[in-house]
Structure 1
Amino acid sequence: MKSLGLRWRLTLTYAALLAVTLLIASVAGLIALRATLYAGLDASLRSAAASVVSQLAAPITRPSAADREVLDRINNQQPLKITVFDALGHTVDRGPSPVGFVAREGVTQVGWYRVFTQRTPRGWVQTAQDDVEVRTALRRMRLVALLGVFPVLLLAVAVGFAVANRALRPVDQVSDLAARIARSGQASERVPLAPGGDELARLTRTVNEMLARLEALLARERVFAHASAHELRTPLSVIRATASLALERERSPEEYREALAQVQGVSEDLTGLTTRLLTLARGAGALDLQTINLADVALFAAEAHTGEAQAKGVRLTLDPDSAPAYGDAGALALAAGNLLQNAIRYVPAGAQVWISSGVDDAGVHLTVEDNGPGVPEGDLARLRQPFQRGTGQTGSGGAGLGLALVAAVMEAHGGALGLDRSPKGGLRARLELPSEPHA
């Protein structure tokens, strides 16, 4: 059987709690009413007994037998029965008792009668009255409570379902939107914001923020896939053309070796490109977050690329200040190494590259800058995208993935990659991490 929806579960839970509350309130009310009614009845019995006792204290004038018979008949016609007994429990006056002699002082329930007995110097005075009026009143109240519960519960179910339906409407919108996105693959739609600042309002805002990030991610992935296909197509076309040309006719061993050498060179470029694509795909993956120091990251990156700088005649200057951070040391070292490798690759021989770290008001940072030709302002924004190179740098080697990898690593850390013109003349690339750990 299909399980009940959340609306009905909330509504029925609310109705069950209300039913229990009404039951407890009804039982408590009936108990209080019963106590009040019997207290009033007991008070009337005590008052009647006290009146008779005061009369017995006066001089006794015994009525005649005929008068006593008339008085007993009148007494029996009243709802409140009064009987006077002697010390041995024999009826003396105003009898007979409807319940017989009860030799116990105080209020007693005998059958349907409420009985009050009081000792006197000469015997006992007993007052008794049928509690039919009390029982009738209690029965009516039970009936009213029972009949009144059902309309209240029906109203509670209707109101509870309406409230639950209104409260869960944003959840339905989120669910429907997720289903549409799953079918279409388009994340451009947004959930209507729930009013106020409660949990559902925060949910709709969070879902919209997530969808905005998802849309940007999907757009970036489409661009990345298109650019990857374009970059891979060129070396594959060269390999296919070289192989086809070599197989068109018989060739000399030297010509075969030349063709194979060309295929090998292109294959090595293709292997390097594939490796960089894999590195980029992994760069924004799961991070091993721990407490690190960006000064150590800068030192590691400088040591890793000192040989490359020396081979080109580029001078490295290291200026690390302590910069405690919370991040993945391996991913940040990869990002810093890419910045340093880019700087060494694109500056002319004899240039200088600086790598430093520190802390400022914005957070902790690691900076790589150079005194090379730099990058035009209009190119800075697109350099963070895969396969993008600066103007006039298409023949300088590389696939244009380094800064895209750095940007992905910083985004995963909750930080940013800053690119601008260095006061030293070239490009300044800055890894910026927040002061607090990124969730």
Structure 2
Amino acid sequence: MALRLSVKARVTAWFTALMLLVTAAALGFIVALGGTMLEGIAKANLSRAVQVNAGAVEYYRDERSEKFELDDDFSPNIFGSRCAVYTGEGRLLTGVMPDGLGAGEPFAAGPPRLVSGGGQRFYICDLPISGGALWVRGVTTAEEAEVFFSSMARLSFVILPVLVLIGAAGGYFIVRRAFRPIDRMIAAADAINEGSDLSARIGLPPKDDEIHRIAAAFDRMLARLEASFESEKQFASDASHELRTPTAVILAQCAALEKEGLTEKDYKKGISAIDRQAQKMSRLISRLLNITRLEQGTVKAQFERADLSELASVVCREMSSVHPDAELSSEIEPEIYAELDVALMSRLIENLVENAFKYGGGKVRVTLRREDGNIKLAVIDDGAGIPPEELPKIWQRFYRSDKSRSSGGLGLGLSLVKQIAGLHNARVIAESEPGKGSVFTLTMAER
């Protein structure tokens, strides 16, 4: 079975291997460069020592004899090198050579060269005088470079593991910190999976890196899922609550119609009651579906630049025909254009006017005007008004107060108004004073 490592382990292993490679290459480069430098310095000092001492040797020759003289500048030990003077036949005239090296090594003019003798390695440099009558030979040991190589090799065996361990520990620390948000994401997902708690969030502080952006996206996804889940729960709860009464009425009427001895009038009355409750259920389900679809975003608004003045006028005419016994007046400023979904905005105005008819005193006024760069649509009624403590609650689904919501409405119209206003980036507020009616105002930017 293949060993499966975590992402953190793989990244740490890769980082450690890279550190090992880089450190080994760096140490190898240092060793090679250091050895080359030491070798170059040793050869340069050797050449310099031979040249200096060659300048301090004077050679004389006549028909009967030959001789040489050394100036005071001649030094057999200079610049870390040993120097000696030989005749062309290899006879040592002055100076001392290391054991194993002497005239046995042939003279050769040129740059320093590496030779072995007496179990050691040396650099030798020869310089001829008077055409080879005398030779100045310089010798220096190659041991310094070799000692450097061996010291660095031993040091590398100590430094390399330490650097690798430090690199591995540092890499693991960095990877662990970098992956900590992912661990929190996993913990949040596990908590949701185990406890079905969609309110859990990762909650990382905002930062502009990939993992923090993933965490923020994860939180947004959870918020959307929670909203969707709560919306479904709310829909099921609301539907079951509101459908209970009409369902009970329909079942009761069906049971009553099954009895014997009923007249035709009784049947018509029972069927009429069933029809009313079924119509109510149909309207309720339609409204609930509309609200839920808007909340979940499954219904997309189709925005277009439209004449809001004309739309409001058309809705007012239609609502007047539906409620001929009520008094509806309007003050609509002409040619007010806005970016809106015509169908949804029409429904919003209809709901506000319908709400005013149901809970007003019989007189409703609709106004539309421009004000301070905004468009304001107001629906005003002369009803009993809404108590101040109940104003924040009227936007909730199925909310109906004992006084102002007693006319048999579903309690969904204003909730739908709130949803449609939000889609248009608009704000809708209610102002009311008990006994003096209510004013519902929609405010949206003029674009």
**TM-score computed with the length of structure 2 as normaliser:** 0.72
Equivalent in 293, 299, 304 of residue 282 of structure 1: 293
1:185-244 Cα offsets, whole Å, 9 max, x none, are 3355666776x9786889889978987887777666545432221111111111111112
Change (3 A) 1:131 1:263: same
2:155 pairs with 130, 144, 147, which one? 144
Task: State whether residues 84 and 93 of structure 1, in contact with CA within 8 Å, keep that contact through their aligned partners in structure 2.
Answer: yes
Alignment of 1:141-290 (within 5 A): 141-166=152-177, 168-187=179-198, 222-249=233-260, 251-253=262-264, 255-284=266-295, 285-286=297-298, 288=300
Q: Which residue is equivalent to 1:314?
A: 328
- The residue aligned with 2:441 is 429
Give 2:379's aligned residue: 369
1:329-383 Cα deviation digits (max 9, x unpaired): 66555445533443454444343112346665xxx56533314334322222111
Q: Relative to structure 2, which stretch is displaced further, 262-271 or 229-238?
A: 262-271
Give the aligned partner of residue 7 of structure 1: 8
CA distance change for structure 1 residues 341 and 371 in 2, over 3 Å: closer, same or farther? closer
Give matches, 1:15-414, under 5 Å: 15-59=16-60, 62=67, 96=102, 100-102=106-108, 105-107=110-112, 114-116=123-125, 122-123=131-132, 127-166=138-177, 168-187=179-198, 222-249=233-260, 251-253=262-264, 255-284=266-295, 285-286=297-298, 288=300, 296-297=307-308, 299-312=310-323, 313-319=327-333, 331=344, 334-356=347-369, 366-373=376-383, 374-411=385-422
Deviation of residue 429 (structure 1)?
A: 3.1
**Whole-angstrom CA distance in 1 between matches of 2:445 and 2:313:** 20
**Residue type at the aligned position of 1:339:** L
Give the % identical residues.
22
CA RMSD of aligned residues (A): 4.5
* Paired residue type of 1:11: T
Contact kept? 2:50, 2:83, Cα under 8 Å: no
Query: Deviation string for 1:89-145 (max 9, x for gaps)?
Result: x75768756764555x43556786545465665247564545243133123213312
Aligned residues: 412
In the other structure, the counterpart of 2:71 is none
Q: In structure 2, do the counterparts of structure 1 residues 152 and 358 end up closer, same or farther at CA, with 3 Å as the change threshold? A: farther
Deviations 1:284-339 (A, max 9, x none): 2157578755x7456435434531135433123323786766x7666555445533
- Determine the C-alpha separation between the residues in 1 that align with 2:103 and 2:337: 102
Relative to structure 1, the CA distance from residue 291 to residue 257 in structure 2 (aligned partners, 3 Å threshold; closer, same or farther) is: closer
Change in 2 beyond 3 A, CA 1:311/1:409: closer
- Secondary structure at the aligned position of 1:316 is classed as strand
The structure having more radius of gyration, on CA atoms, is 2
SS in 2 for 1:351: strand
Select the structure that is richer in helix.
Answer: 1
SS where residue 410 of structure 2 aligns? coil
CA distance in 2, matches of 1:427, 1:191: 43
Question: Could you state the TM-score of these two structures normalised by the residue count of structure 1?
Answer: 0.73
CA contact (8 A) 1:291 1:324 kept: no
Q: Secondary structure at the match of 2:333?
A: strand
Question: What amino acid does structure 2 have at the position aligned with 1:355?
Answer: L
Q: Name structure 2 gaps, 5 residues minimum.
A: 69-75, 94-100
